[in-house]
Amino acid sequence: MPEAYIFVGETGRHYSESRLQRMWSVVREKAGLDRSVRLYEAARHSFASQIINSGVSVYSVSHLLGHSNIKTTEKYLHSDLEKLKIDISNLSLEEKVTKLAKEKNVDNSQI
């Protein structure tokens, strides 16, 4: 079942465990990660963080990862600063008024 492998080379064949470990050692060192961080945990954390950031609910991710407590899954919630700025700006009426005034070339006090 070649489609069952996550890490495959250019030939379409899966990497051996020893090859993956050598690759992971290089990546871990370049990223400045402690030697205790294993590929399994890093891949799991990356997967969970990415699907949460793409809009999958934390409850769904919790189920996918087999967590019995939602608090365990919450560690994968990372605040994306740009997304946070957009979310906040969507709540800010003052910012919308200022933007509208600039578009209409009107002084804010006139709105």
pLDDT for 80 equals 59
Q: Tell the burial category of 62 from Cβ atoms under 10 Å away from its Cβ (0-12, 13-18, 19+).
A: buried
pLDDT for 3 equals 67
DSSP state of 12: S
d(CA 97, CA 76): 35
pLDDT for 1 equals 59
d(CA 96, CA 25): 48
pLDDT per position in the chain (111 positions), as tens?
556 777 788 888 888 889 989 999 999 999 888 888 888 888 888 888 888 888 888 899 999 999 999 888 888 776 555 565 665 556 555 666 676 667 766 554 544
Three-class SS state of 14: strand
pLDDT for 86 equals 61
Buried/exposed 3-28: b ≥16 CB within 10 Å, e otherwise: eeeeeeeeeeebeeeeeeeeebeeeb
pLDDT for 90 equals 60
pLDDT for 68 equals 93
User: Residue 87: phi, psi to the nearest 5?
Assistant: -60, -45
